[in-house]
Amino acid sequence: MSYTIDLSGRVAFITGASSGLGAQFARTLARAGAAVVLTARRVEKLKGLRAQIEGEGGDAHVIALDVTDVDSIKSAVAHAETEVGSIDILVNNAGVSTTQRVQDVSEEDFDYIFDTNAKGAFFVAQEVGKRMLARAQGSAPGTYTGGRIINVASMAGLRALPQIGVYAMSKAAVVQMTKALALEWGRFGINVNALCPGYIDTEINHHHWSTEQGQKLMNMLPRRRVGKPEDLDALVVLLSSAQSHFVNGAVIAADDGFAI
Ligand code: NAD
């Protein structure tokens, strides 16, 4: 006996797909059968990923998006729906971080992080959510197949860590945003959940692991290891699927036990 999740016929919109977790989420959802819309600012990188996904027999589309620009969000979502179809799955993944002590954070640093991680994630979810709501309300009772929004927060949104205070604050905002959206949209068949990864080796932190501080941090982790992007594959597929219809407003840590 086996258990499978099939996302064929579903359209997934992934932000920050040009590297790291976003690129991996896109590859994984495409392998599960979804048509994936790859969005980020670095279009050339997205084209490379599209070629890779198409090479594996997947269906991928590239659209430029800067999540700090609400007009860019509106036009990318509209473009995706025209070119590919109604969005069933949103992976709200784009994010940035800086490292400094809280007393050294400038207004510019603060805005940089909050504009992307909190404000950007909110308006992407709002734009996609509005369209999901319209579909839910326009469908005959019981026929809407459901929307899925996965907000990529962080275990730093659950536990404060030194030198990334503002990042942690922005991800705590994503956690609470997830609950607020889940509360208002759940009854329309739109499930909104937060994924809180622990340390995963990607572009955002790759330089850090070879430094003395990075090594020290790794030794503090419960199993003294940093994750790989593919460690989140199963969760992202599950949260994107119809099978997760009973999971709404959940905040799921995938951090090898670090937030305990
Ligand atoms: P990454 O730097 O490789 O990916 C971040 C992506 O977001 C990039 O593709 C980047 O271009 C994109 N992005 C940044 N600003 C953007 C903007 N204004 N508009 C559109 N796209 C933008 O890092 P990652 O580790 O893959 O991070 C992905 C998400 O996972 C982020 O939200 C991050 O905070 C979160 N996260 C990462 C870790 C980790 O250890 N790697 C842990 C917890 C949470």
Q: What pLDDT was estimated at residue 259? A: 87
Q: What pLDDT was estimated at residue 218? A: 95
> 18 alpha carbon to ligand 1 midpoint, in Å?
9
Mutate to test the pocket of ligand 1, among 93, 111, 207 (most ligand atoms within 8 A of CB): 93
Asked whether the beta carbons of 237 and 29 are under 8 A apart, the reply is yes
All domains in the chain, ordered by first residue: 11-254 (3.40.50.720)
Mutate to test the pocket of ligand 1, among 63, 202, 203, 258 (most ligand atoms within 8 A of CB): 202
Q: Which atom of ligand 1 is nearest to the CA of 205?
A: 41
Q: What pLDDT was estimated at residue 142? A: 83
167 is catalytic: yes
pTM equals 0.98
What is the average per-residue pLDDT within 58-67? Answer: 98
Q: What is the mean pLDDT of the chain?
A: 97
CA distance 92 to 239: 13
Mutate to test the pocket of ligand 1, among 68, 123, 159, 204 (most ligand atoms within 8 A of CB): 204
What is the average per-residue pLDDT within 189-197? Answer: 98
User: Which one has a higher pLDDT value, 126 or 213?
Assistant: 126
Q: What is the pLDDT of residues 13-38, one digit of tens each?
A: 999 999 999 999 999 999 999 999 99
Q: What pLDDT was estimated at residue 1? A: 83
Q: Which atom of ligand 1 is nearest to the CA of 199?
A: 40
Q: What is the pLDDT of residues 142-174, one digit of tens each?
A: 899 999 999 999 999 999 999 999 999 999 999
> 148 alpha carbon to ligand 1 midpoint, in Å?
20
Indicate if the pLDDT at residue 141 is higher than 90. Answer: no
124 Rama sector, left if φ>0, alpha if ψ -120 to 50, beta otherwise: alpha
260 — pLDDT class (breaks 50, 70, 90)? confident
CA distance 128 to 65: 14
> 218 alpha carbon to ligand 1 midpoint, in Å?
20
**Tokens matching residue 255:** 């951090």
What is the average per-residue pLDDT within 210-218? Answer: 93
Asked whether the beta carbons of 66 and 112 are under 8 A apart, the reply is no
Q: What is the pLDDT of residues 104-121, one digit of tens each?
A: 999 999 999 999 999 999
**Tokens matching residue 156:** 């730093």
Q: Which atom of ligand 1 is nearest to the CA of 97?
A: 34
Selection from 21-35, 128-142, 204-218 with the highest mean pLDDT = 21-35
What is the average per-residue pLDDT within 55-66? Answer: 98
Four-CA torsion 25, 31, 35, 37, nearest 10 degrees: 30
Q: Which atom of ligand 1 is nearest to the CA of 200?
A: 40
Residues with CB under 6 A from ligand 1: 15-16, 18-22, 40-42, 65-68, 93-97, 116, 120, 152, 154, 197, 199-200, 202-205
88 — pLDDT class (breaks 50, 70, 90)? very high
What Å distances lie between residue 238 and 96, 164, 173, 213, CA to CA? 25, 30, 23, 35
> 10 alpha carbon to ligand 1 midpoint, in Å?
24
